[in-house]
Amino acid sequence: MITVENLTKRYGDHIAVDDVSFACKPGQVTGFLGPNGAGKSTTMRIIAGLTPASSGTATVGGTAFRDIPNPATQVGVLLDASAQHAGRTGAEILRLSAMTLGIPKSRVAEMLEMVSLTPDEADRRVRNYSLGMRQRLGIANALLGDPHILILDEPANGLDPAGIHWMRTLLRDYANRGGTVLLSSHLLHEIEIIADEILVIGHGRIVAEGTKDELLAGNGARVRSLDDTALAAALSRADIHARPADGGGLTADAAPEDVGRVAAASGIVLVELRPGDGAQLEEMFLQLTQQTQREQPVLQGAQP
């Protein structure tokens, strides 16, 4: 379990992480979302013992990372796939890690197979790796010590669609076996698919958290009536914004019960009224962080 309590990090007058608290539970993948500069990486570096906090605490399994004996056997960390010795081969990097951890070298071959790096690729120097190959090597290194907690910062960067599917399956299986996963990404669609719990951070503060269903609950209503034009006008008079929905009807920025009250008061017969469960996490994310992000997040499949 990862526990973060009232975590704050200041760099002079700049507050990179501002009183952040959350918990990542065993058996779950926790997705950490936010625009660039929101504080995701700084928070993860503090958890991994690489950056000191200005105040607050971050513990892994109830212990500060720096106090864990042989921590890589307890916590697997991948914060920067490019931060690997470019002059060594992938296999050499894993063998050195195995020696440091005091685990059998046979584990190296198991990890290379798990992340689908071929013998030829394993014997290639890392300077000749693509970003996707470096991500696979970094994940292999994080899993080498058979930890029960994973902390991964943007692990899908550089992976092709097949690689992203592979990573998603790997992490899902890991969590299903009782592992704890903290996964940061700006590929919002991937987080929506894989995460059990979602944290949204903007300007160093947690602006939303919960399951996908919880975050999308109350995110508007889908409504159809015998006279949608009259219903739209009635909702507008009640200061409820409504817009045409795909397939007919309206999507309203209000809870279903509020839409129903307006329709009843206006004598408009409804034929459908339900939560706006068609809303996407991307839309919710943009709404929550529109005042804090400095640039648009990269959405999967977006054109440059």
Return the domain boundaries, the chain.
2-215, 220-275
Q: Chain-centre distance of CA 258, in angstroms?
A: 32
β-bridge mates for residue 152, sequence order: 78, 183
Query: Is the distance from CB of 259 to CB of 235 less than 8 angstroms?
Result: yes
Q: What is the pLDDT of residue 53?
A: 96
Model pLDDT for residues 35-52, shown as the tens digit of each residue: 878 899 999 999 999 999
Between 31 and 297, the higher pLDDT residue: 31
pLDDT above 80 for 295: no
Would you tell me the crossing angle of helices 90-101 and 106-114 to the nearest 10 degrees?
130
Q: What is the pLDDT of residue 170?
A: 92
Q: Is 157 exposed, middle or buried (0-12, 13-18, 19+ CB in 10 A)?
A: middle
Q: What is the pLDDT of residue 84?
A: 86
Residue at token pair 């198991």: 110
Least confident of 36-50, 57-71, 139-153, 186-200: 186-200
Which one, of 169, 215, 228, lies nearest residue 188 by Cα? 215
pTM of the model: 0.75
Query: Is the distance from CB of 205 to CB of 20 less than 8 angstroms?
Result: yes
Q: What is the pLDDT of residue 224?
A: 94
Model pLDDT for residues 227-243, shown as the tens digit of each residue: 999 999 999 999 998 98
State whether the Cα torsion 107-110-112-118 is positive or negative: positive
Q: Does domain 2-215 have CATH number 3.40.50.300?
A: yes
pLDDT above 90 for 271: yes
